[in-house]
Structure 1
């Protein structure tokens, strides 16, 4: 069995309840496959000439000797990969810094270019850009495997210490590259999703290290039960589709809360999951069709996976359903048919029981470069973010079953890291998330020169400072902008070009950075 469990991802993968494909719960780390929208930089790798010198291509890999354990430097170092360009740099300019956070970083070197917010900042302020691979992702690994024991040094604090140690000790491959530490150059940290939250965490934890920050869609407040992940979906999806999904989930909750085994079996058979033994595995799997929302961007339209799902429920005999939907009977059968049509792509050759069984414990694959293992480790130990159904007492119409609860994901921690957790020593999501919020500020963050860009249709919005539960006020020193975009929409220029609201988020962020860089220059004088 290959487990998957879902979040940031801080922020992208979209498969099932107990899983076949290698990854974790829909990430807080950006649209599909990462913590930030992925950019194909292949067309950007033509030679760049700077002052008569041909610069190395963006995908040139550099290595930094990073400490394995910042609490015990005697353990030595490992090779941490980074990428870099000084295409726009002029003396006195800043270092624009990002770590993609939840993924092998080599596919993100387009973030060195001015097709992204990083490059726009560098171009505006005449800075250099650095992309650092996060520890335990890609090929930047302190140890040769991803066992729970090895990942004891895979923590948010160790990641922040990586950033600090790198910034103060790296010799950047550019003129005067030895003298561009935070005491001599302004470091501007950027990031979307988990890297957006990490930007905030770093500025809270290391005052004076980062001069200014740009945090996009950063879920800074972690939660044990992050059921509000689905609220932006429910509120912004087509109303006929939400009406029918709510009707189906209410019916499933009623049936699966009963002792009527024949009715339960009939529903599982409708979805082609008749052999799935555990009810929460079946109910949790249905979140896959909702997770497809995180793939959307302002440029997405008909044909996107989420809209295909809604069309399957709401288009009948060539006609669209009214706002109230077609009702339970049609929606249940239509959802079942749509689900069955996608089972092969979801599960491959595995049976539905093998695909979705989260109870079986087997020897996990612990080889490196498996982002789902590295990301889920953070979830188990520090972030929680269980994408569950709303509490039974909540008046909110549910689009995920109330019977899908955080214990479902806690159980998967035991299955994925049996060398560390047992059923009697499972992680405590409530205590872990409370500690993270206490250590790094969560919604109570108050630092100077940090720009927060969030989006109304982002599934991670309710963990951000724009959450309805808190709605942090925007100030000159910590501006907050809420666009009409999706998850981390403002990181890419092409998305902003298609949506004036997202373009506004970029514009306000660039203006804030410009103002703060003027402050830096005045201080240096």
Structure 2
């Protein structure tokens, strides 16, 4: 399968840990990997005693319930990582999951290179990174066939967090008596796992003392055309003008052009092997998905800006805000693809396997092996959240071909999961059920901090969506930086963007105040006596 250059990268290091598969609805909402201060195998010392602690990459295993509605079904091994570098008795436990992917390599979220570690350092707490069920090596079964994905739901994932918090015995001193009734727990997440933070606090009120949700996609949406709006709004105007012009031309050729004109267009971009017009049209989304890899730290050096420079700089001169026009931009876009972009995108795969969506024998659809995280994520997409990143509605400027509609992406659910979604069923997820169950934009829960970025492509699914007002209150604070997706999770981004730093400082202040009111259950019992 093809891989994107990186997924949600705030730092270029360890970008491979968050690489995304290139496929329908490929841009997953996932926080970036962040390298730890010491390196995965370097020494870790307790901040007060100086005692040597286990390396950050020490893997622990927890016996998690397969089905929380039927504990008799048994357990499976759930991986997690843990350190207590700043922990002092009475301090909080900071729990984080990277969400939809292998959590190995996310040990940066144990240390103060991230907001997790900043909270732990400030509050003298311990940190945990836990792998989400059905991702990485955390799986109840030996394969991910349709029947084995039965227990892969948002609710089961929420129940996992509760059972872990209440049952786990941590390796640190006193780690057998720091459950949520005895110590304050703080749930942290970014993107999908940020939404999971909100959903968990709604579904399990009082379990976690506080929550921090970065770029949290709390609202499930089928036709998520707004994904591309922040890019259109904040990218260079000349680039957006030319992208719109090229896409309009592509649509005209693919819908009304002659056979010769269509063949010429496909050949220009190396897509001759694709026989379906919507596959050809969809392929152009790849350059737009690169927007998600940007961060304050990458600045103008990201692949997305390299793409815009390829379109807009001609003979050393940049185009005006109106762009160069379709004649130049079409050829410039094709040259950018042919000068390595398409090769890197497909990584040795055939064009059909890389970008086609009609062959049911494509390994993308048939690989049911454990560790195929894209398959696991697609199950949630098809059943509960949608988020199909497609063309804007008629009358709204679009960076994406009008041939790319939710039905195009949803059709792949039948190819991935034919036993669940028979061919021709055109399934759409039950987003109404998801939004009612976990409150979506209507979330109102105490001691929950939302952090979002203006340039985040996922912003329209967060509480900072342009067309849906959610007030910030002292108990449910919402802070917005000038950043991108999950920018506020990384300490490095705060070093280059004062607005990101301000969000982090506001969050640290809020969480500090929220933790002050925690009273251990045992202390309450003593006081009652």
| Cα deviation, residue 178, structure 1 | 1.6
Question: 2:189 corresponds to which residue?
Answer: 191
Question: 2:14 corresponds to which residue?
Answer: none
Structure 1 residue 141 and structure 2 residue 139: aligned? yes
More displaced stretch, 367-376 vs 305-314: 367-376
Question: 2:420 corresponds to which residue?
Answer: 420
Provide the C-alpha distance between the structure 2 equivalents of 1:312 and 1:78, rounded to a whole number of angstroms: 50
Structure 2 contact 2–349 (Cα < 8 Å) conserved: no
Question: 1:227 corresponds to which residue?
Answer: 225
Provide the C-alpha distance between the structure 2 equivalents of 1:118 and 1:14, rounded to a whole number of angstroms: 24
Which residue, out of 455, 461, 464, partners 1:466?
Answer: 464
Structure 2 contact 132–138 (Cα < 8 Å) conserved: yes
Structure 2 contact 310–333 (Cα < 8 Å) conserved: yes
More displaced stretch, 36-45 vs 100-109: 36-45
| Cα deviation, residue 16, structure 1 | 4.3
SS in 1 for 2:432: helix
Closer, same or farther in 2 for the Cα pair 1:229/1:62, shift >3 Å?
same
Structure 1 contact 37–488 (Cα < 8 Å) conserved: no
Alignment map for 1:155-234 (pairs within 5 Å): 155-234=153-232
SS in 1 for 2:176: helix
Q: Superposition RMSD on alpha carbons, in Å?
A: 2.3
Provide the C-alpha distance between the structure 2 equivalents of 1:348 and 1:111, rounded to a whole number of angstroms: 30
Query: C-alpha deviations, 1:145-184, integer Å up to 9, x for none?
Result: 1222211111100000000111111111122212111111
SS in 2 for 1:105: coil
Which residue, out of 44, 58, 61, partners 1:47?
Answer: 44
Which residue, out of 242, 245, 248, partners 2:243?
Answer: 245
Structure 1 residue 36 and structure 2 residue 37: aligned? no
Normalised TM-score (structure 2): 0.92
SS in 2 for 1:87: coil
| Cα deviation, residue 263, structure 1 | 2.3
Query: C-alpha deviations, 1:34-66, integer Å up to 9, x for none?
Result: x33433555363231353532111111111110
| Cα deviation, residue 257, structure 1 | 2.8
SS in 2 for 1:257: helix
Which residue, out of 374, 380, 383, partners 1:381?
Answer: 383
Structure 1 contact 192–215 (Cα < 8 Å) conserved: yes
Closer, same or farther in 2 for the Cα pair 1:497/1:348, shift >3 Å?
closer
More displaced stretch, 43-52 vs 449-458: 43-52
| Cα deviation, residue 17, structure 1 | 5.0
Provide the C-alpha distance between the structure 1 equivalents of 2:371 and 2:349, rounded to a whole number of angstroms: 23
Provide the C-alpha distance between the structure 2 equivalents of 1:411 and 1:4, rounded to a whole number of angstroms: 21
Provide the C-alpha distance between the structure 1 equivalents of 2:223 and 2:232, rounded to a whole number of angstroms: 17
Structure 1 contact 115–494 (Cα < 8 Å) conserved: yes
More displaced stretch, 247-256 vs 329-338: 247-256
Query: C-alpha deviations, 1:411-444, integer Å up to 9, x for none?
Result: 2112122343221445323xx1111111100000
Query: C-alpha deviations, 1:205-230, integer Å up to 9, x for none?
Result: 01111110000001101100111000
Structure 2 contact 488–500 (Cα < 8 Å) conserved: yes
Structure 1 residue 478 and structure 2 residue 476: aligned? yes
Closer, same or farther in 2 for the Cα pair 1:4/1:39, shift >3 Å?
closer
Which residue, out of 425, 436, 439, partners 1:438?
Answer: 436
Question: 1:350 corresponds to which residue?
Answer: 349
Query: C-alpha deviations, 1:246-267, integer Å up to 9, x for none?
Result: 1111222223232633322222
Structure 1 residue 399 and structure 2 residue 395: aligned? no
| Cα deviation, residue 315, structure 1 | 0.8
**How many residues are aligned here?**
510
Structure 1 contact 455–485 (Cα < 8 Å) conserved: yes
Structure 1 residue 26 and structure 2 residue 27: aligned? yes
Query: C-alpha deviations, 1:120-168, integer Å up to 9, x for none?
Result: 1011111111111100111111111122221111110000000011111
Question: 2:255 corresponds to which residue?
Answer: 257
Provide the C-alpha distance between the structure 1 equivalents of 2:383 and 2:3, rounded to a whole number of angstroms: 16
| Cα deviation, residue 484, structure 1 | 0.4
Provide the C-alpha distance between the structure 2 equivalents of 1:247 and 1:84, rounded to a whole number of angstroms: 51
Provide the C-alpha distance between the structure 1 equivalents of 2:313 and 2:290, rounded to a whole number of angstroms: 19
Provide the C-alpha distance between the structure 2 equivalents of 1:228 and 1:238, rounded to a whole number of angstroms: 18
Structure 1 residue 410 and structure 2 residue 410: aligned? yes
Provide the C-alpha distance between the structure 1 equivalents of 2:335 and 2:50, rounded to a whole number of angstroms: 62
Closer, same or farther in 2 for the Cα pair 1:445/1:185, shift >3 Å?
same
Question: 1:366 corresponds to which residue?
Answer: 368
Query: C-alpha deviations, 1:435-493, integer Å up to 9, x for none?
Result: 11111000000000000000000111110000001131110010100100111011111
Provide the C-alpha distance between the structure 2 equivalents of 1:253 and 1:365, rounded to a whole number of angstroms: 33
SS in 2 for 1:177: coil
Normalised TM-score (structure 1): 0.92
Instruction: List gaps (5 residues or longer) in structure 1.
Output: 19-23, 30-34
Closer, same or farther in 2 for the Cα pair 1:388/1:519, shift >3 Å?
same
More displaced stretch, 247-256 vs 502-511: 247-256
Provide the C-alpha distance between the structure 2 equivalents of 1:340 and 1:8, rounded to a whole number of angstroms: 22
Provide the C-alpha distance between the structure 2 equivalents of 1:140 and 1:442, rounded to a whole number of angstroms: 27
Question: 1:32 corresponds to which residue?
Answer: none
| Cα deviation, residue 521, structure 1 | 5.0
